[in-house]
Amino acid sequence: MNRENSYSKPMTPLELARHIDHTLLKPEATLKQFDKLCEEAKLYQFKSVCVNSSQVSLVAKKLKGTSIKVCSVIGFPLGAMATKSKAFEAKTAIEDGADELDMVLNIGWLKSGKLDFVEDDIRAVKEACGNKITLKVIIETSLLTEEEKILACEISKKTGADFVKTSTGFTGSGATVEDIKLMRRVVGPDMGVKASGGIRDYKTAVAMINAGANRIGAGGSVAIMKGIESDENY
């Protein structure tokens, strides 16, 4: 079973930390901020550190020798780049040390009914991942109808992706409990579901896990751990 635990009671800090992808995807982020990101991940023992592909090599070096995974976003944040470009970015990120990839689904193709194109797009990145690299597909729930959310989840599962993920945090609203429940219902118990976007406090994070999420993506991870509200949007 791919689910990494589901809780119906309050979680300990360590239990929650091991569900969190500690994230920094802001375009203006400095090298000093990535240093801090990695130190925070080590302190709290987050599941992974999630960054843009240009920072994977740096983060991989800083996390070497730890159990913390290196996660790179692919085709971020629009998902509209050419499939060959996504596959190349995926291969490069893996060569640079990424253990996990969060790719953005081509939303325009999905909404246009080009479902074969969407599937081929995900498969190209999945092929780059092989069997050892975890692939999460960002479906950008705030831009989709319920029917489109279901289709996105079904296609992602069909390709062999490991997770479906709610949001980039750059478009519209973020994760909702309702969307997590829908995604979990569609993909079943064995595929991962990641809640991301607008999760700023402990209570909300645990609510997402109770709804069926295995992972939480957050820029305000430290604030979540401290039990205080953060002003981070992603």
DSSP 3-state of 191: coil
Q: Which of 62, 121, 165, 179 is catalytic?
A: 165
Q: Which helix (H) or strand (E) holds 143?
A: none
∠ CA 44-50-52 to the nearest 5 degrees? 150
d(CA 200, CA 218): 7
The percent helix, strand, coil of the chain (3-state, each to 5) is: 45, 15, 40
d(CA 211, CA 126): 27
194 flagged as catalytic: yes
165 flagged as catalytic: yes
DSSP 3-state of 96: coil
Q: 158: which 2 tokens?
A: 């069909």
d(CA 34, CA 58): 8
Q: Which of 21, 96, 99, 102 is catalytic?
A: 102
Active-site residues, by number, are 102, 165, 194
